[in-house]
Chain A
Amino acid sequence: MTITRRETLGGALAAGFTLAAGTASAEEIGLTKDQILIGGYGPITGPAAYIGLGARDGTELAIKEINDAGGIHGRKLKLVFEDDGFSPSKALASVKKLVEQDKVFMMLGLSGSNPTVGTVDYSKEAKIPSYAVLASAPQYTHPFNRYLFRGGATESLRYGELNAEYLMEFLQAKRIAMLSGTDENAKNEGDNTERMLEKWYGVKLLMRAEFKVGDKDFTPQLLQAKAANPDVIITLAQVPEVSILLRQARELGIKQAIMGSPAAVDNGVIAGAGLNAEGYTGGWLSGQFLDSVHPDMVKFREAWAKLHPDAPKGRPNLFDVLGYSEMYVVAEAMKRAGPDLTREKLVDALETIENYKISEIATPRTFTKWHHIGNFRMQYMVVLGQHFVPVRFDPHRESEILKEYKK
């Protein structure tokens, strides 16, 4: 409580100085002479905790590096992070708390689609720059809003476009079967892949069967897929389901290639399915895989391990990488906005970001005045010799989303 009060006082003083200096900016919330307060929310409790824990710690790592290097125009960054338990109602409570109690300068969305969508109306009303790192729901960027940005994860339709192009042009598949989970992420990616296969290539799925998150047996769905005799089976689900599914597919004598979604390109799949995972392929949201020996990834892993010497198994994960690299995108924009930082200037500066990435562990981000979707790419990976290795595949078709925006 006292801290908040002191900061508010400091904020008022700082704003007073700015006014005295003759700039037009009114007092800016969450900003002092030597600090920028950033709000963040994501799940750190409940089944989705791995998402928020990773994203939070990755962001913290970037902030520590930036602060150690002197901060941004003399200001140190500080993250206030709140749990949303992957629930829209709790996410809204977190964002309200961050805006009204902690009085943050900007907001980092480190949660999944539904919780993030739950905060959209309030964020728009509060006119607070919000940068969603992991949400893919279209409601976040449609209709266009000046204050809402999407980095990290791309929009759900884009997953469909990339999957369709990869299936048809790289894997050269003609006959495709789909098995998908009933969770929001898998459903969206499945629907969009189905839609884009048909729209761009005129290819209809041979079959599509669903299962529930937490299912342990996929024999029924696999038998259906086997009967359809496809070239490729695309499975859209989380890691635990996919690792079981891969093994069962081989046990049932299914020899076809199996492709997954970015949610299940993870070493857990190799651990769970072992040799059955060989040849499994799917999109990955950052530049290099976690166990890559690329110097940038090695540097990231070492920095991460230094900050968390007693880290639990399984970390850092994808969300550590995304939290880290997206925080650098935001920091770059803050740098560009200059010493007289304001929320409006930050938005303007973010819109100048073009093909920016902190290192090879990230993929480039671009924002413009007319669209705020920073990422349109995925790096496809394949399991070879019990490791995910990158595939040389560069999508060339222009996204329907961009065409839509250009109209």
Chain B
Amino acid sequence: MSDFSLMGLKAPTVIFGAALLLLALALPPWFGSYHHYLASLALINIIMAVGLNILTGNAGQISLCNSSFMAIGAYATTYLSVKLGLSYWLALPLGGVISAISGFFLGFPALRLRGFYLAVVTLGFLEVSQILIEQLPGITGGVRGISSPRPALFGHTLSSDLSFYYVILAITLATIWCAYSLLRSPTGRAFEAIRSSEAAAQTLAVPLAQTKLAAFVISAFFAGIGGGLFASLVGFIDPLEFGVWTSVRHVVFIVVGGLGSITGSVVGAIVLTVLPEVLRAFKEYQEFVFGGLLLVVLILLPHGLVGLGPAIRARLTQSDATSVAAAQRGVAE
């Protein structure tokens, strides 16, 4: 292991991140709009995964309604910029804030629940938000969907997918940086504490309710921003786009990538955005193949793709020993 580190990041992570960033900056002009569009979707998925991972991976709260917050962000941004004529660059963060406020309200009943009780309640929230989108056609366009135009920057409409890609890339990087700083802050450590043991966290004077609420609010804000970007990237949104399978996909990103890890979120989101495009060759059997691949990965790597590296490294340290042992047993059986 190397002694080199940057802001507390290990060398492999830094090298990996720098290489990825270089590719993200330099490659796109060589490709066409189809690839820019896919890359933009991958970046938005990274935002969704990073946000959800804070709630689920770090604070330990399962959520199956991440797509609802994405929808709230998407519809709010569209409404504010199209109907109220606000600048997109104001509407986008406002969409995030509105989404965060809804996260706050969901967080309240969720405070008392854990595990799959929470999963079912979040499913309920998703159902209710879908009904609201359908029943408020004046704001959302209802089931017919609504157009969401591309924004302008310095007087130029970002109509090309390449220019909008760079905007999304910048926002994604900012998101990752925010998440990274957050997790290193006392709040981030409080998340870890309540995930490991709520009782122990309380004895350490971690304010349980506040911390959990903060996790809900932050992840909803991220999802809202991602939703706002998604709306103007695609240019047209309808409620089916934000259904339960979208939420499940976000959970799959972080479980396959690695719970509680930003690298995991990034890797999971990229892999699972590219994979369906590769699976196109399987035609109508692609969902079946996807499910099968997913199962294989989960059985072989129950701690996700990033579980591979630490599993080897953690042999030296004692802290992760139990989970590694569990992982190995999982593989052995």
Tell whether A and B belong to one assembly: yes
Binding site for B on A (CB under 8 A): 44-46, 49, 53, 81-83, 86-89, 92-93, 96-97, 99-101, 113-114, 117-118, 121, 137, 182-184, 187-188, 212
Contact A184 B144 (CB under 8 A): yes
> Which residue in chain A gives the minimum CB-CB distance to B144?
A184
A-B contacts besides A49-B284, A93-B34, A118-B236, 16 pairs, CB < 8 Å = A53-B284, A86-B240, A87-B240, A88-B145, A88-B234, A92-B234, A96-B32, A100-B32, A100-B34, A101-B32, A101-B34, A114-B145, A117-B145, A117-B236, A184-B238, A212-B131
CA distance in complex: A149, B26 (Å)? 39
Q: Once the chains bind, are A45 and B286 in contact (CB under 8 Å)?
A: yes
Q: Are B41 and A93 in contact (CB under 8 A)?
A: yes
Could you mark each residue 110-154 of chain B with 1 if its beta carbon is under 8 Å from any beta carbon of chain A, else 0? 000000000000000000000100100000001111000000000
Verify if B37 is at the interface (C-beta below 8 Å from A).
Answer: yes
Query: How many whole Å from B151's CB to the nearest CB in chain A?
Result: 15
Q: Is the CB of A182 within 8 A of B134?
A: yes
B213-244 with Cβ < 8 A to chain A: 230, 233-238, 240-241
A118 to B37, CA, bound (A): 14
Residues of A within 8 A of B240 (CB): 86-87, 114
Contact A89 to B34, CB < 8 A, known contacts A44-B283, A82-B280, A182-B134 = no
Interface centre among B33, B144, B235 (most CB of A within 10 A): B144
**Residue from the list B32, B144, B280 in contact with A114, Cβ < 8 A:** B144
Closest to A188 in B: B144
Min CB distance B22 to A, Å, is 24
B320 CB to closest chain A CB, in angstroms?
38
Q: How far, in angstroms, from A99 to B238 measured CA to CA in the complex?
A: 24
Q: In the complex, which of the residues A83, A86, A88 contacts B286, with contact meaning CB atoms closer than 8 Å?
A: A83
Interfacial chain A residues near B41, Cβ < 8 Å: 89, 93
| Closest chain B CB from A78 CB (angstroms) | 15
Interface centre among B32, B131, B143 (most CB of A within 10 A): B143
CB neighbours (8 Å) of B236 from chain A are 88, 92, 114, 117-118
**Could you tell me the dominant secondary structure of chain B's interface residues?**
helix
Which B residues are in CB contact (< 8 Å) with A137? 144
* CB of B201 closer than 8 Å to a CB of A: no
Contact B143 A183 (CB under 8 A): yes
Complex: chain A residue closest to B149, CB-CB: A121
Return the chain A residue nearest B235 by Cβ: A121
Nearest residue (CB) in A for B230 is A89
Secondary structure of the A side of the interface? helix
> A87–B34 contact, CB under 8 A?
no
How far, in angstroms, from A88 to B146 measured CA to CA in the complex? 11
In the bound complex, what is the Cα–Cα distance between A229 and B237 (angstroms)?
Answer: 39
Alpha-carbon distance between A83 and B289 when the two chains are bound, in angstroms: 14
Distance of B161 from chain A, by nearest CB (Å): 8
B143 contacts A97, C-beta separation under 8 Å: no
1/0 per residue, CB under 8 A from A, across B257-285: the answer is: 00000000000000000000100100110
List of A residues within 8 angstroms of B32 by Cβ: 96, 100-101
Complex A-B: 16 CB contacts under 8 Å: A44-B283, A44-B284, A45-B286, A46-B245, A82-B280, A83-B283, A83-B286, A88-B234, A89-B230, A89-B233, A92-B37, A100-B33, A114-B238, A117-B236, A118-B145, A184-B238
Residues on B with beta carbons closer than 8 Å to the beta carbon of A82: 280
Interface residues on B, range: 20 to 34
| Identity of the chain B residue whose Cβ is nearest the Cβ of A186 in the assembled complex | B143
Interchain nearest-CB distance for B63 vs A (Å): 21
Q: Is the CB of A96 within 8 A of B37?
A: yes
CA–CA, A56 and B25, complex, Å: 38
Select which of A44, A96, A187 is within 8 A of B144 by beta carbon.
Answer: A187
Q: Complex formed: what's the CA distance from A137 to B143 in Å?
A: 12
- Residue pair B237, A88 in contact (C-beta under 8 Å): yes
Within 8 Å CB of B283, what residues of A?
Answer: 44, 81, 83
B143: which of A44, A46, A87, A184 is its contact (CB, 8 Å)? A184
Closest A residue by C-beta to B35: A100
> B287 at the A/B interface (Cβ < 8 Å)?
yes
Least Cβ distance of A192 to chain B in Å?
A: 12
Cβ-closest 10 pairs across A and B: A96-B34, A44-B284, A184-B143, A100-B32, A89-B234, A118-B236, A100-B34, A114-B238, A45-B287, A88-B236
Annotate B38-62 by CB proximity to A: 1 below 8 A, 0 otherwise: 1001000000000000000000000
With contact pairs A89-B241, A114-B144 given, residues A45 and B284 touching in the complex (Cβ less than 8 Å): yes
Q: How far is the CA of A113 from the CA of B33 in the complex (A)?
A: 23
A188, B143: Cα distance in complex, Å:
9
A101 CB contacts on chain B under 8 angstroms? 32, 34
Contacts of A187 in B (CB 8 A): 142-144
The complex places the Cα of A278 from the Cα of B1 at a distance, in Å, of 77
Contacts of B230 in A (CB 8 A): 89
Is B241's CB under 8 angstroms from A88's CB?
yes
CB distance from A153 to the nearest CB of B (A): 15
Residues of B within 8 A of A83 (CB): 280, 283-284, 286
Residues of B within 8 A of A212 (CB): 131
Docked Cα-Cα span, A33 to B134, in Å, equals 50
B103 to chain A, nearest CB (A): 23
B245 proximity list for chain A (CB < 8 A): 46
Shortest CB distance B176–A (Å)? 23
Q: How far, in angstroms, from A82 to B233 measured CA to CA in the complex? A: 20
Chain A nearest Cβ from B32, distance in angstroms: 4
**Pair A118/B144 contact, Cβ less than 8 Å:** no
In the bound complex, CA of A44 to CA of B280 (Å): 11
What is the distance, in angstroms, from B281's C-beta to the closest C-beta of chain A?
10
Residues of chain A within 8 A of B237, CB atoms compared: 88
Report the Cα distance A88→B147, complex, angstroms.
11
B284 & A182 in contact (Cβ 8 Å cutoff): no
Q: How far is the CA of A137 from the CA of B238 in the complex (A)?
A: 13
| Chain A residue with the shortest CB-CB distance to B38 | A93
Tell me the bound Cα distance from A184 to B140 in angstroms: 13
Which residues of chain B come closer than 8 Å to A114, judged between CB atoms?
144-145, 236, 238, 240
Query: Known interface pairs A49-B284, A83-B286, A93-B41. Does A88 touch B238 (Cβ–Cβ under 8 Å)?
Result: yes
- A121 to B, closest residue via Cβ: B235
State A101–B236 Cα separation when bound (angstroms): 23
Least Cβ–Cβ distance between B131 and chain A, in angstroms? 8
Give the residues from 150 to 172 in chain B that come closer than 8 angstroms, CB to CB, to chain A: none
